[in-house]
Amino acid sequence: MNQYETVFILTPVLSDDQMKEAVNKFKDVLTQNGAEIISEENWGLKKLAYPIQKKSTGFYALIEFNAEPQTIKTLETAYRRDEKVLRYLTVKMEKYAAEYAEKRRNNKSSKEA
């Protein structure tokens, strides 16, 4: 299994409940295909660098997970089929990126405590 992280931008016209429901839908796609979710971050409503579909803001979400490579195809097909998703990017993390992400999560959790 490889470690991946995926970031996706959801349309800004969603309510908070609809946004959380969409994030949970993609987490379910991952878990149903044998992925192990490591962490999830909701970055909230952010301004986009350029308009996408005439929208200048979007809800950003990040999910880190371990999965087999074929799971990525299923996830990205789900992104393409969902009209709420403006953009998405899934990246396989190399060893050093995974270590950095773990440090970042640990620092974030220690600051919150």
Cα–Cα distance for residue pair 22/30, rounded to 1 Å: 13
Structural domains of the chain, count = 1
Residue 66: CATH number of its domain:
3.30.70.60
Question: Distance (Å, rounded) from C-alpha 58 to C-alpha 71?
Answer: 25
Number of neighbouring beta carbons within 10 Å of residue 76: 17
Query: For each of the chain's 113 residues, which pLDDT tens digit applies?
Result: 899 999 999 999 999 999 999 999 999 999 999 999 999 999 999 999 999 999 999 999 999 999 999 999 999 999 999 999 999 999 999 888 888 888 888 887 777 66
Domain range for 36 is 2-112
What token pair was written down for 40?
């999830």
**Could you tell me if 1 and 66 are in contact, meaning their C-beta atoms sit under 8 angstroms apart?**
yes
Pairing of strands 55-67, 85-92: unpaired
